[in-house]
Chain A
């Protein structure tokens, strides 16, 4: 039956005489179709010889031709060497021990080269000199293949030859007027041979000054140490020897004093015979260190000073009067009593950039005679002196400096008073920048001396007194570059090569008759004699000054207590785990690396506490496309204003304080446009003080963040990150704190691990290898070295900020960070368990979504769990993902048709989809889009194309290689030989990989450990990744 309803299109139809209705009835389209406009252009139509029919013919023909042509394979050339170097076998990797030392990061590393190309940085396990390679060191290999490197020496922006460079600079150096200084402005360069070269240079030219400059200064620490121990350096700390660690504002798991302390720290964090260290952190920004602490007290920077002074008076003695809020005072007293109880097993450190504060910390440790505190092996990886830098700028402005030779620093970007420096630089007759980039500084100098990357250079470094690290080239220089030292040799009129010079310095001064080649092969050398002499010198000096330092430090504590006056907001400047001081800002791996705390990439931002954000009207919101938006703020320090700083509300940020990271906001042409992210914090770094009084005002507009984790809390789901306290861990059964979830079968509670409640038949995996990965949540500090190592090993593409914002990040390994919504995660669990009824669940679950003001924090690295009963495998319509007998969940990219069913069915959300072609695509102009950048790709791993799913393979290329090596040598595989990129990169021992069918192996033991559990065990996926329950040492002494 037909309907005689009339549908009204608009109110207009009510009007009988409406012209619009009339027109619409006549004409289908409201607006006229511009056919006339197109067809009316008679001239163009007639002049074109292509008729419509011709056009269709062409289309048809070209389609047919294209499809036919596609059937022909391309002709591929294979070009062998003319003379093959004996050490290179195509397809077999060579490893070289060398050093990454860029003035900010110092690490002894192994470099994996394939066909002569360095493709990956690995830890040099022989070199326990200063921790393991961090995320930035792992990423530094990409800097070698940076397309924007300076490829030849330059003069005023034009490239010149080295001969011209040498003759012009030499004559200018010789022709300098008397009384004019020649100044070397270098990064921290603890290189014996370079120091010797500069000394020789001084001898030849006279009136030479060497100024060491650290972009992020540790000058106060150095001054305090120098005053106390007579050597410019920093005390070494071995946190594996500390039972109680109290840190006042020291981010020692980050870059405090050059970093590298996390391996020692983690060693003691794994409960061993019921014991682990206790870590109390007083800090204002939420740092990696604070996130790992057993107890974290958020306080403002000015309070930090008082806390330290109070600690000093409580431990060492002497009275100071400090006004601190009651709860903080109580925390300090408790910390002091814990320290006293631990005695020499305790250590107190501080990150306050103030000579008094550093002196006080040294004094406390000396008073405790802390075992973790080591003044024998002084750390030498920070040498910068603020005073000397300021003096230099003054000298330059007065015109006293004739020649400025800059190596490895970028003061025009990193100096707070860069304009003063520029003014001075213009008065310098000869300015030479030794640089890999035409960066902010180099482009303002007369000459740019193109230097090779660390991986193309020779070098030597003394990280700690007596601990040397050797740098050797792992590839021939890619461009027409010369090392700083080579040019120095030439200026000195010495025509030996730098390698020979280095060798002679080492053989005569360092090696004590041991082989130079051995030192180069090992990459490290620990001198027995020099460490000893160092010790005697140090102790003698400290003994003689005993009395003096005693009184001095008492004064220091009082000065510290009284100096801390603050009004309004305080800003703490810090270095982000990914970016450090910003010299690697053009590295897309590091830009895309999500910050461990905020999980935000491609940005820096002002971290503000929730209370302050509310009072200032600053907001964060999650928007519908899955992105995080935040307000902008205007930040002013002493009249210097940084506009449009995006704001992130940071749980755990001390009220009254804000934080901002260095290393962003670069504008130089040495960076690709995509990498010019964030705001520059260095102008706020006045007087090289990381703490500044600041005013924050809200600006208009919203910032779009690329944050990959919008859900910050666990919502009381304690089975995702299981954790317990040391007390419970020691006293209760495993069933209490690490129970296996149960399901009811025939009204009997059955553990999910039982085969009775399993949907699937289990395969027999007892034969051959069965790989498992154990991740210890106690040892994991969230440092992210594994993320970058995975990036490098598996050719994981960089997708850029806008894709990251859409949660289309491609990281195979992510480190989830969770905040507790109550004081602790335990509180969350209780709250969830007590929810009953609809009303309460609606309101309280809502509350649980927001983190507490000072939350507990937990990190959890998550990659493909390689489930034995994998949900992804059963839903793949084309069987592109399948299980291997060795426990790995395989992914055949060539078989994948991109339905994404697997990603939807994965309970861990670890599968990544290639929404685009990320290599050789101008839309994604990162390293995979240029020939040079692609040299870093691992030839053993497929570069995925658009439309396929990918995920962690448990580094199957590495396990297969290990197996093949064993087969070729006809021997069984030894324990410890199997590694994944992440487990090899983890210097903390948090990740252990191996074969559980080898009953003697460490992983077999860890799998059966009481702390072991699987992620979302109740789902019944039977993963091959095990986590070790996090144990917190919450007991207050």
Chain B
């Protein structure tokens, strides 16, 4: 039994989990699109137009459908709110896939009424011994579907209308357009530069030509060009001027010393270190686009010296139901970063042993490459900075929410640490630990607010032991 229980952890998990699962439902198709920041305006407009067109055409299709015309748009939001936790349109999840479910059930000879009964209370149907209901129940590991008595006939018909929509076309053409556009803009820049170069070359040539022509005129007119008096070559003069040589030598020595020093000072400093990771994990999508709090995954930063690399079960909190990214995100990944996000999610599934519906039990840990490495003799505690001082993660780690691939933003040198300790005030508000010491120390130093350095944050033994 643990002597000290770590219950807070679970608590946080639940809290965020609820919020996230809600988000992830929304994410299924369009949500992502709005949040993705497109760098290229044209492609954004184009893709928006494309989606609009699609929606329009499909809604037309749906209206052509059955006599009980449902509203697929409303059906979609209902589907996302109620069904998407367990069902997907084109793939089995906790429950079976639902594309064209009504049509498929009709083949089994089951009508809308059966569907209504099943949705509102499936267990009753099973208990009643309905043959197909029992069959489904047994097929799906005897897990009964939740009852949805709150759904009206119209709601169900809307949802069914949504499920009856044909799958969206793969967005390949759009990708083509997008890449073309991007390439085009690159070329145009080059073109302008090239044109300028040509222009300059022409100008230079023109000048040479003008000079030559003038010379010829002068020759023709018999005017002698003033002969250049040949003095000492400049290098000879330089060599003979010992003072100048000395000054130059000193200058070169100093300059090279500067560069050597600079070289040595960057040894072991890995600022900008951006290794290739076993899974292309995009902080930009997670922390930026989806706004997931850093400490949702790196939860131990609050209580421990380590921020912790999240274990894969944390990933699966969301990715259990997110197997694919939105088509636009996928396209963007392929275009801008050359990466297939869906394939990366598959890597996660492989590592955690998830076959799409259940855990296989065969897992293999992901061997991330560590980016922020402090030497062994330096002690750093995340919780001191994150929980006690309330320092934003970005202060040291940089704009993580914009990083497609994580890199080391700060130099992580001792000078860098100390600078911050000198400049940053201790956060004493609402912390009784500091009450007495801050009052006495600030009086001693005659300041309103103590910096971390004044609090003792520069002492060797605070970080080296």
Contact (Cβ within 8 A) B3 A968: no
A893 interface residue (CB < 8 Å to B): yes
Cα distance A520–B2 in the bound complex, in angstroms: 9
Tell which of B2, B365, B460 touches A80, judged by Cβ atoms closer than 8 Å: B365
Residues in B neighbouring A80, C-beta threshold 8 A: 308-312, 365-366, 368
Contact (Cβ within 8 A) A942 B377: yes
B433 interface residue (CB < 8 Å to A): yes
Residues in B neighbouring A81, C-beta threshold 8 A: 311-313, 365
Contact (Cβ within 8 A) A83 B313: yes
Interface string of A306-337 (1 = CB under 8 A from B): 00000000000000000000000000000000
B337 interface residue (CB < 8 Å to A): no
Contact (Cβ within 8 A) B459 A76: no
B107 interface residue (CB < 8 Å to A): no
Residues of B250-284 contacting chain A, CB below 8 A: 267-268, 270, 275
Residues of B383-402 contacting chain A, CB below 8 A: 383-384, 387-388
Of the listed residues A92, A472, A967, A972, the one surrounded by the most CB atoms of chain B closer than 10 A to its CB is A967
Cα distance A76–B313 in the bound complex, in angstroms: 23
Cα distance A895–B370 in the bound complex, in angstroms: 26
Closest to A111 in B: B3
Residues in B neighbouring A943, C-beta threshold 8 A: 376
Contact (Cβ within 8 A) A953 B370: no
Contact (Cβ within 8 A) B377 A893: yes
Known contacts A521-B1, A894-B377; A885 and B432 CB within 8 A of each other: no
A892 interface residue (CB < 8 Å to B): yes
A725 interface residue (CB < 8 Å to B): no
Residues of B427-443 contacting chain A, CB below 8 A: 430-437, 440-441
Cα distance A84–B388 in the bound complex, in angstroms: 25
Contact (Cβ within 8 A) A957 B431: no
Closest to B388 in A: A967
Residues of A929-973 contacting chain B, CB below 8 A: 940-943, 953, 956-957, 960, 963-964, 966-973
B363 interface residue (CB < 8 Å to A): yes
B91 interface residue (CB < 8 Å to A): no
Interface string of A762-789 (1 = CB under 8 A from B): 0010111000000000000000000000
A110 interface residue (CB < 8 Å to B): yes
Closest to B389 in A: A967
Closest to B273 in A: A73
Contact (Cβ within 8 A) B267 A82: no
Contact (Cβ within 8 A) B433 A973: yes
Known contacts A75-B275, A94-B2; A953 and B465 CB within 8 A of each other: yes
Closest to A523 in B: B3
B379 interface residue (CB < 8 Å to A): yes
Residues of B345-378 contacting chain A, CB below 8 A: 351-353, 363-370, 373, 375-378
Interface string of A85-98 (1 = CB under 8 A from B): 01101111011110
Known contacts A89-B303, A893-B377; A94 and B4 CB within 8 A of each other: yes
Known contacts A77-B368, A80-B368; A894 and B375 CB within 8 A of each other: yes
A517 interface residue (CB < 8 Å to B): yes
Contact (Cβ within 8 A) B311 A941: no
Cα distance A941–B376 in the bound complex, in angstroms: 9
CB distance from A519 to the nearest CB of B (A): 10
Cα distance A328–B59 in the bound complex, in angstroms: 113
Contact (Cβ within 8 A) B377 A79: no
CB distance from B262 to the nearest CB of A (A): 13
Tell which of A76, A82, A967 touches B431, judged by Cβ atoms closer than 8 Å: A967
Residues in A neighbouring B377, C-beta threshold 8 A: 892-894, 942
Contact (Cβ within 8 A) A893 B2: no
Residues in A neighbouring B379, C-beta threshold 8 A: 940, 957, 960
CB distance from B142 to the nearest CB of A (A): 25
Of the listed residues B3, B351, B430, the one surrounded by the most CB atoms of chain A closer than 10 A to its CB is B3
A78 interface residue (CB < 8 Å to B): yes
Known contacts A893-B377, A953-B461; A964 and B441 CB within 8 A of each other: no
Interface string of B49-93 (1 = CB under 8 A from A): 000000000000000000000000000000000000000000000
Contact (Cβ within 8 A) A957 B370: no
Contact (Cβ within 8 A) B465 A942: yes
Contact (Cβ within 8 A) B303 A968: yes
Closest to B351 in A: A82
Contact (Cβ within 8 A) B366 A895: no
Contact (Cβ within 8 A) B430 A96: no
Contact (Cβ within 8 A) B456 A884: yes
**Chain B interface size range:** 35 or more
Cα distance A522–B373 in the bound complex, in angstroms: 39
Closest to A83 in B: B313
Cα distance A81–B437 in the bound complex, in angstroms: 40
Cα distance A943–B464 in the bound complex, in angstroms: 12
Known contacts A892-B460, A956-B465; A76 and B373 CB within 8 A of each other: yes
Contact (Cβ within 8 A) A76 B369: yes
Closest to A964 in B: B384
Cα distance A913–B272 in the bound complex, in angstroms: 38
Residues in A neighbouring B200, C-beta threshold 8 A: none
B306 interface residue (CB < 8 Å to A): yes
Cα distance A885–B444 in the bound complex, in angstroms: 14
Contact (Cβ within 8 A) A82 B365: yes
Cα distance A953–B305 in the bound complex, in angstroms: 20
Cα distance A96–B382 in the bound complex, in angstroms: 25
Contact (Cβ within 8 A) A891 B9: no
Residues in B neighbouring A263, C-beta threshold 8 A: none
Residues in A neighbouring B1, C-beta threshold 8 A: 96, 472, 517, 520-521
Residues in A neighbouring B381, C-beta threshold 8 A: 964
Contact (Cβ within 8 A) A960 B366: no
Contact (Cβ within 8 A) A972 B432: yes
Known contacts A891-B461, A964-B381; A97 and B375 CB within 8 A of each other: no
B10 interface residue (CB < 8 Å to A): yes
Tell which of B9, B378, B387 touches A89, judged by Cβ atoms closer than 8 Å: B9
Cα distance A973–B309 in the bound complex, in angstroms: 31
A45 interface residue (CB < 8 Å to B): no
Known contacts A84-B313, A96-B1, A968-B383; A942 and B376 CB within 8 A of each other: yes
Tell which of B275, B304, B440, B444 touches A92, judged by Cβ atoms closer than 8 Å: B304
Contact (Cβ within 8 A) B306 A90: yes
Contact (Cβ within 8 A) B373 A73: yes
Contact (Cβ within 8 A) A79 B268: no
Closest to B306 in A: A91
Closest to A768 in B: B437
Cα distance A628–B155 in the bound complex, in angstroms: 94
Cα distance A769–B369 in the bound complex, in angstroms: 40
Contact (Cβ within 8 A) B368 A79: yes
Tell which of A77, A885, A963 touches B370, judged by Cβ atoms closer than 8 Å: A77
CB distance from A891 to the nearest CB of B (A): 7
CB distance from A785 to the nearest CB of B (A): 21
Contact (Cβ within 8 A) B387 A968: yes
Residues of B1-42 contacting chain A, CB below 8 A: 1-6, 9-10
Cα distance A97–B364 in the bound complex, in angstroms: 32
Known contacts A80-B310, A82-B351; A894 and B464 CB within 8 A of each other: yes
Cα distance A885–B456 in the bound complex, in angstroms: 7
Tell which of A766, A767, A957 touches B465, judged by Cβ atoms closer than 8 Å: A957
Known contacts A967-B388, A968-B388; A87 and B368 CB within 8 A of each other: no
Cα distance A969–B434 in the bound complex, in angstroms: 11
Residues in B neighbouring A90, C-beta threshold 8 A: 300, 304, 306, 308
What are some 14 contacts across the A-B interface (CB < 8 A)? A73-B268, A73-B270, A77-B369, A82-B351, A87-B5, A91-B300, A520-B1, A767-B437, A768-B456, A885-B459, A894-B378, A941-B465, A960-B379, A969-B433
6 closest A-B pairs by beta carbon, nearest first, are: A890-B461, A91-B304, A84-B311, A81-B311, A95-B3, A91-B306
Q: With A78-B370, A82-B365, A968-B303 given, can you name 9 additional A-B contacts, CB distance below 8 Å?
A: A75-B369, A89-B303, A90-B300, A90-B308, A767-B441, A886-B456, A892-B460, A942-B377, A967-B388
